[in-house]
Structure 1
Amino acid sequence: MRGIMFRVLACLSLFFFLVPVTYVRGPVPRANESQYIALEPIVIDAKNPVRTRIGRLEFLGGWKITSDNAAFGGISSMIALPDSRFLMLSDNGSLFGFTLDESKHRAIRPFIAPLPDGPAKPNEFARQNWDAESFLHDPETGQFWVGYEHQHSIWRYGPSLARREAAHFPEATKNWPENEGPEAMLHLPDGRFLVFSEAAEYSKGGYQALIFASDPAEPGSKAVRFGYQPPKGYNLTDAAILDEKTALMLHRRFTPFDGVSAILSTAQLKDFQPGKIATSVPIATLRPPLKVDNMEALAVTRDRDQIFVWIASDDNFSALQESLLFKFRLLKGKVAQTKPEPERKNEKAGASPGFSTFESD
């Protein structure tokens, strides 16, 4: 009986994790205008609170983020600005911002507000059309780009995020599944833009991604396809430029028997070529007993020769999940190795085995 109950609960968890939020949420919460955002410090491993090393990542801090504003939640992408300022986008087209005071675990000057414009008018029936999944910022011009699912499109906003400047519904995305749109974007050092589907299959293998030679938000901008093959059993959720040659790629996975996990990997920018299939090399895996949720947002910051990696989670507006923010230091040295676990006899057919990460110095 205990085993049956476990499988029932696992299947329920899988349902709430995979089905689009729009269809599993109850009535839209009554709107309020609270601008309060609270941070609660957490450790990465409750069973071993002093643990800091996960592959090539050193854990420096973590926070559970909450707010009594009904629009808060569903973090799908984020941007780290100077002076510890963060901007986060939600599945419902809301924008969250705050300055992180790490020493006092406070969100200073927080705000919660809807984006000024999107693929549909901002009302409670249009939330799935405001499913903002990817986020870019150009520090030189101050402009922002947002990638939306459901009505697959790329929008550009001005430096204050107060108005739309351009919007484009690329022809190349029209056959992408409704809930597998522009999950991640990169602005390459040479000026090109990359737009990644979460799981639209590429004919040569992996999943579809697009290369735009110019601004993808401008109507008429053309794209060429290539493929991206994530680690087996995982889907890409975000990406960030690490340096002039390398990108960081964030992936998630969920099975009813293993729960949720995430893999961070590195990809070479030179491998993102038209008609080719790019891959990446895992450098760290987050999985139980580590604190992990639906990790969807990724950002990179620097301080002199140190590189910091920030990862945040999407709670799907569910009471069963949490909005988390982690800070890691990227360690130098060899890439962490990965090896597949022995396949479980009770794992569903077709489900990919998990990964375990061991550290190398």
Structure 2
Amino acid sequence: MTRLLACLSLFFFLVPVTYVRGPAPPANDSQYIALEPIAIAPDGAARSRVGRLEFLGGWKIGSDNPAFGGISSMVALPDNRFLMLSDNGTLAGFTLDEDGNRAIRPFIAPLPDGPDKPNEFARRNWDAESLLYNPGTGQFWVGYEHQHSIWRYGPSLARKEAAHYPKATQQWPENGGAEAMLRLPDGRFLVFSESALYAKGGYQALMFEDDPAEPGSEAVLFGHRPPKGYNLTDAALIDDKSALLLHRRFTPLDGVSAIVSIAQLSDFQPGKVATSRPIATIKPPLKVDNMEALAVTRDGDNVIVWMASDDNFNAFQESLLFKFRLLKGKKALKKPAGERQTEKAGASPGFSTFESD
């Protein structure tokens, strides 16, 4: 049975979900989103350290609306408000009540427009993989693959403002489009391909001096090299000097895993190959799935890291939301003396450590 499940999961990871079509589900406009609290550690410890990430909370997300799922990117807004974007062009939003494990003011709705008109193949045509938000203007940018393009939407995602099909992206693999985007502090945009090979090593990425959704905007090429065997799935700024990158991998023997790394923005240069430093690996026996969405918020001086998974719209995977605190270097991985003594005495401190960097 274990081998069978692994093979089925491998099928969904290697075959783009947009090609897996069956009978259309019955119409259902439910706006209900349910949250079930989960632990990341196999022993159920409330707090766990994974490399430089301290686990603060986790939830399994579900809905009876068949359009919900396939989370590929997300934006974290003030007051624990989240906007998640599916790879079928569906938006899901809610305010996270961490104490009550509730999704307050939830909604599920399609984007107002996309690379092709909604039809039975919309899941392919609206394969949205990346999402950016400008809090100053309220505008959003969405990166699509298959029909490789960058779209800009107005405040509240109420309408399309601009769309561009950059020439360089039209040579990217059909399922290797704008997997991640960053908007740098100086206003430049970075758009990362998941699988288009770069001649100097790694994979292709584009740097736009201007708005990438504006027709006529031009880009210069550079490369990014993920950890060996992994593919980039999302990125988020930490500050004006660095960014977090999220990578995923699936193999029949090892299953699903994810790596979080830190990149210096100064390393993203035209014609160069940027690398990043892994700071945490999430793999079994830890709770993990197809981690594709990443967001960063602040809680005082703390950097809070949010991750969500793409369930590929199949019953063998889950939509997960994780909350972590970014720790400041390896010294933060050491447990306080009191905790070490408690463990030595045989008591459970409710704290697990998984070093990975």
Do the two structures share a fold, i.e. TM-score over 0.5? yes
Say if 1:56 and 1:335, in contact at 8 Å, map to a contact too: no
1:12 is displaced (CA, Å) by 2.8
Give the Cα–Cα distance (whole angstroms) in 2 for the partners of residues 333 and 13 of structure 1. Answer: 35
1:6 is displaced (CA, Å) by 5.1
**2:355 pairs with 335, 358, 361, which one?**
358
**1:323 pairs with 319, 322, 334, which one?**
319
Does residue 37 of structure 2 align to residue 46 of structure 1?
no
Give the Cα–Cα distance (whole angstroms) in 1 for the partners of residues 164 and 189 of structure 2. Answer: 14
1:62 is displaced (CA, Å) by 0.3
Say if 1:149 and 1:179, in contact at 8 Å, map to a contact too: yes
Give the Cα–Cα distance (whole angstroms) in 2 for the partners of residues 309 and 272 of structure 1. Answer: 22
Identify which of structures 1 and 2 has the higher relative contact order when contacts are C-alpha pairs closer than 8 Å and 6+ apart: 2
> Where in structure 1 are there 5+ consecutive unaligned residues?
338-356
Give the Cα–Cα distance (whole angstroms) in 2 for the partners of residues 102 and 51 of structure 1. Answer: 15
Structure 1 match to 2:341: none
Say if 2:70 and 2:310, in contact at 8 Å, map to a contact too: yes
1:124 is displaced (CA, Å) by 2.0
Within-5 A mapping of 1:113-262: 113-262=109-258
After superposition, the C-alpha distances for 1:132-187 in whole angstroms (9 at most, x for unaligned) are: 00000001011000000100000000012110000000001011000000000000
1:8 is displaced (CA, Å) by 4.8
Say if 1:282 and 1:335, in contact at 8 Å, map to a contact too: no
1:29 is displaced (CA, Å) by 1.4
Structure 1 pair 26/335, CA: closer, same or farther in 2 (3 Å)?
Answer: farther
Structure 1 pair 275/52, CA: closer, same or farther in 2 (3 Å)?
Answer: same
Partner SS for 2:23: coil
Give the Cα–Cα distance (whole angstroms) in 1 for the partners of residues 98 and 117 of structure 2. Answer: 37
Alignment: residue pair count:
338
1:126 is displaced (CA, Å) by 2.4
Structure 1 pair 336/31, CA: closer, same or farther in 2 (3 Å)?
Answer: farther
Structure 1 pair 359/208, CA: closer, same or farther in 2 (3 Å)?
Answer: closer
Give the Cα–Cα distance (whole angstroms) in 2 for the partners of residues 10 and 277 of structure 1. Answer: 34
Letter in 2 for 1:358: E
1:25 is displaced (CA, Å) by 4.0
Give the Cα–Cα distance (whole angstroms) in 1 for the partners of residues 21 and 284 of structure 2. Answer: 26
Say if 1:25 and 1:317, in contact at 8 Å, map to a contact too: no
Q: CA RMSD in A?
A: 1.7
Structure 2 match to 1:300: 296
Say if 1:11 and 1:256, in contact at 8 Å, map to a contact too: yes
Give the Cα–Cα distance (whole angstroms) in 2 for the partners of residues 320 and 330 of structure 1. Answer: 30
Letter in 2 for 1:239: A
Structure 2 match to 1:101: 97
Give the Cα–Cα distance (whole angstroms) in 1 for the partners of residues 231 and 332 of structure 2. Answer: 20
Structure 2 match to 1:13: 9
> Where in structure 2 are there 5+ consecutive unaligned residues?
334-353
1:31 is displaced (CA, Å) by 2.1
Say if 2:49 and 2:355, in contact at 8 Å, map to a contact too: no
Give the Cα–Cα distance (whole angstroms) in 2 for the partners of residues 31 and 290 of structure 1. Answer: 36
After superposition, the C-alpha distances for 1:279-308 in whole angstroms (9 at most, x for unaligned) are: 000000100000000000000000210110
Structure 1 pair 183/258, CA: closer, same or farther in 2 (3 Å)?
Answer: same
Structure 1 pair 22/126, CA: closer, same or farther in 2 (3 Å)?
Answer: same
Give the Cα–Cα distance (whole angstroms) in 1 for the partners of residues 21 and 52 of structure 2. Answer: 37
